[in-house]
Amino acid sequence: MNLGQMLEEATKRFPYNIAFIHEKCRMTYMEFNKAVNALAHYFRGLGIEKGDKIAIMLPNCPEFIISYFAAQKLGVVAVTLNVLSTPYELRHLIGDSEARLFITQDVLTKRYEEIKNDLPLCKHLLTTSGMDTDCSFTEAIRNNPVVWEMPYIAGSDPAVMIYTAGLTGRALGAVLTQDNLMTQAVLFKETDLQGTSAERGLAVIPFFHSFGATANMLVVFYIGGSVVLLERFTLDSIFTAIEREKVSYICSVPRMFLGMLFHQGGEKYDLSSLRFCITGGSAIPKEFLPLFREKFGAPLLEGYGLTEASPICSISRITIEQKPGSIGIPIPGLEVMIVDDHGAGLPSGEIGELIVRGKNVMLGYYKDDKATAEVIRDGWLHTGDLARIDEDGYIFLTGRKKRMVITSGFNVYPLEVEIVLEMHPAVQTARVESKEDLMRGEIVKALIVKKPGMEVDDKEILKHCRSYLSSYKLPREIEFVAAL
């Protein structure tokens, strides 16, 4: 089964179930599938064919979901982009992916307009309302047939491309296949989470993030459940949505769950519908797990993954012991191993690099065989994370082999930030480090050496960085030093 077939199967079985809820919009699976089919016709009318790429830069909204699945029905690769991307970043992301269509909100089109002359392949722009474009999203759906005959799409065909910053400072496109993503879609059925069509998930992690797309969208549609979409939110709006829509589970990052714990007034909401919550993206202090369960009556389960693995690799379970500090046990069908610097396997309890092998491991980095060969060796994906596995098979992360900062679930590679910092005329050299932070897990800290005779302050540095980097990559702490 591929993702397009998955949607068609869910539509046949649950035509009148609510697929997603967004503000006042409630769309059934039948309505959702028809919109997807119409948009697939629109894509084909633009000359977009199987194997082509389309770039989607949207928040968690109906247009994202419909675009994503329309691409799957046509056999087109959905390149999902962070809505925080700057024109500087988009020039590489759209150009490198060779996307032929860019889908975004009207308020974000200015970023595309600044760089479109540098993107000879990306000839088409589709926005949510169609201002200053050839066609609006609504018109594209309204003016096209709602019946679609899918072309043959193999499990090995690329489905999605997600850019993840590389150790070289240049973002790499991780190509995920239909089979890769189907290993994730079935997780609620193949683990003790046992999701049913009555499931309602709250989508707060962005769908352009691999964790958000898998845990808050694919797993739900596979079982015929409902997704509650929140584009922008406060803690009170999260509590309100849980109570009003009877949300049964949430997948998010530690920052949100810690916020829920610390939020004054959370106890006034009825959260009895919550069955479980899953936290990932960065570690959560283990002492908060029992506190969360005590306050909200639902277990907070830790999981682990990375974009290159579609992304989920391990998760704690409801019906077996949850060991504090562990990221759980591997998902069904995934092999894991701890190896030393020479690639030799280590015994239980020994610390080394965590490597994984299974059908969820990406096809590779787009147009970069060298970078692919560095992380996938003999079928094993080298995660760059240090870990140990105990005698019961539970995985415990202990550190990182690669330089990386994980802030609020987003990966930041220091070299990418250092390159931008050193583009400033007053900066001689810079080094980026991680600094622990309770709510975000880590923050980006920059150490900067100024050029002789040059003066610059942290405000000017941040202003410079904002022109090039998404906001989550910005240094939250800057220290000027004499030398590195």
- The pLDDT score that the predictor gives to residue 133 is 53
The answer on 45 and 185 residing in a single domain is yes
Per-residue pLDDT reduced to its tens digit, 331-349: 999 999 999 999 999 999 9
- The C-alpha atoms of residue 253 and residue 172 are separated, in whole angstroms, by 23
Place of tokens 């899953």: 278
| 342-346 LR contacts (CB < 8 Å, sep 24+) | 343/377
The answer on 214 and 78 residing in a single domain is yes
The answer on 301 and 260 residing in a single domain is yes
Domain count, the chain: 2
Tell me which of 120-134, 209-223, 421-435, 459-473 is least confident. Answer: 120-134
The answer on 55 and 40 residing in a single domain is yes
Quote the Cα angle for 258-264-268, to 5°. Answer: 110
The answer on 167 and 179 residing in a single domain is yes
* Cα-based distances in Å from 184 to 190, 223, 360: 10, 12, 7
Contact between 410 and 472 (Cβ < 8 Å): yes
The answer on 188 and 276 residing in a single domain is yes
Contact between 53 and 81 (Cβ < 8 Å): no
The answer on 421 and 396 residing in a single domain is no
The answer on 304 and 276 residing in a single domain is yes
The answer on 396 and 415 residing in a single domain is no
Rounded mean pLDDT of the chain? 95
- The C-alpha atoms of residue 429 and residue 484 are separated, in whole angstroms, by 8
- The C-alpha atoms of residue 49 and residue 42 are separated, in whole angstroms, by 11
Tell me which of 84-98, 130-144, 159-173, 424-438 is least confident. Answer: 130-144
Residues of the domain holding 413: 405-480
Burial class for 465, CB neighbours closer than 10 Å (0-12, 13-18, 19+): buried
- The C-alpha atoms of residue 179 and residue 297 are separated, in whole angstroms, by 35
Place of tokens 């069904």: 332
Q: Which of 133, 87, 79 is nearest to 106 (CA)?
A: 133
Q: Given 402, 421, 438, which residue is the final one in a domain?
A: 402
The answer on 132 and 94 residing in a single domain is yes
Q: Given 402, 430, 448, which residue is the final one in a domain?
A: 402
The answer on 331 and 454 residing in a single domain is no
- Res 61 pLDDT > 80: yes
Calculate helix-pair angle for 29-45, 62-74, nearest 10 degrees: 60
Place of tokens 């539509």: 11
Stated pTM of the model: 0.93
The answer on 116 and 45 residing in a single domain is yes
Residue type, 119: L
Per-residue pLDDT reduced to its tens digit, 386-409: 999 999 999 999 998 888 899 988
Per-residue pLDDT reduced to its tens digit, 186-205: 999 899 998 999 999 999 99
- The pLDDT score that the predictor gives to residue 267 is 87
- The C-alpha atoms of residue 299 and residue 275 are separated, in whole angstroms, by 8
Residues in the chain: 484
Burial class for 394, CB neighbours closer than 10 Å (0-12, 13-18, 19+): buried
- Res 135 pLDDT > 90: no
Measured from the Cβ of residue 145, the count of other Cβ atoms closer than 10 Å reads: 11
Place of tokens 């094993």: 380
- The C-alpha atoms of residue 435 and residue 385 are separated, in whole angstroms, by 17
Residue type, 472: Y
Q: What is the DSSP secondary structure assignment for residue 320, as one 8-state letter?
A: S
Residue type, 203: A
Q: Given 347, 380, 402, which residue is the final one in a domain?
A: 402
The CATH number for 412's domain is 3.30.300.30
